[in-house]
Structures are given as C-alpha cells and as structure tokens.
Amino acid sequence: MSTVNPYAPPKAHVEDVGVSEDSAAETVRREYIKHEASVRSIGALYYLGGGFMVLAALGFALGGFEPAAAANAAAITVIVSVFYGALGTVSIVVAYGIRRLQPWARIASIVLILGAFLAAALGG
C-alpha cells in the first residue's frame, strides 16, 4: 500500500513553474487586465451619473410643489422629476451590468449615450 498523502500540497518549486515577464502570453494578459479596468471605471462613472440624476429627480420633486405655483408648472415639474428618476435608475442598472462585464450592458450604454446626444442636439 502506498504512503502518499493525496491531500498534501504539490511539491513543485515555484521558480521552476514561473512565467517569464517577456512572454507573449504575459503581454496579452496584462493588456486584457488594463482593458477590463478601463471598462469597469466607465461603469463607476455611470453609477456617479445615475446617482446625481436620482438626486436631481428628488430635488425637482421636493422643490417644485409650491402653493402659489400654477397647475402647468406643477405638472411640468412632475414630468421632469419622473424623467430624471427613470433615467437615473436605468443608468444605475447599466452601471451594474458594465461593472460585471455583462454583454447586454454594452448595448444599453450605447442606447443611453445616443439618447443623451439626441437630447442635447434637440434641446441646445
């Protein structure tokens, strides 16, 4: 019967298994890590923008209801606050997908960016 422990750690020397810093595989790995970090930082920016939009929606909702305000102004305030709240929520959901490197988040972020450019072109 063998006296080898199947649960023992491997006995390989680390310097024997090491990967060279100049290898092509290491260069590709480092490039992918840099790309992943860039994509995740874009997700963080989506979180930031979505958070500010939700705060703006709350500001519109809380600050827009004055007793002397006209009915049209109150209706416009409600519409704007709902729009900002929905857009902020969608941005936060897209940020979650981008940070998790989900494929659907790429398409959703493209749609959000195109919508922002369209709104800026029509509004300004």
Catalogue the long-range contacts made by 101-110 (C-beta closer than 8 Å, 24 or more residues apart). Answer: 101/36, 101/39, 101/40, 105/43, 109/42, 109/46
- The pLDDT of residue 116 is 80
pLDDT tens-digit profile of 12-47? 666 655 556 668 888 888 888 888 888 999 999 999
Q: How far is CA 34 from CA 30, 31, 86, 94, in A?
A: 6, 5, 32, 21
pTM over 0.95: no
- The pLDDT of residue 108 is 94
Ranges in the chain, pLDDT < 70: 1-2, 12-22, 64-71, 123-124
- The pLDDT of residue 17 is 54
**Would you give the end-to-end CA distance of the chain in angstroms?**
83
* Residue 98 CB partners (closer than 8 Å, separation 6+): 39, 40, 42, 43, 46, 105, 106, 109
- The pLDDT of residue 124 is 46
- The pLDDT of residue 9 is 80
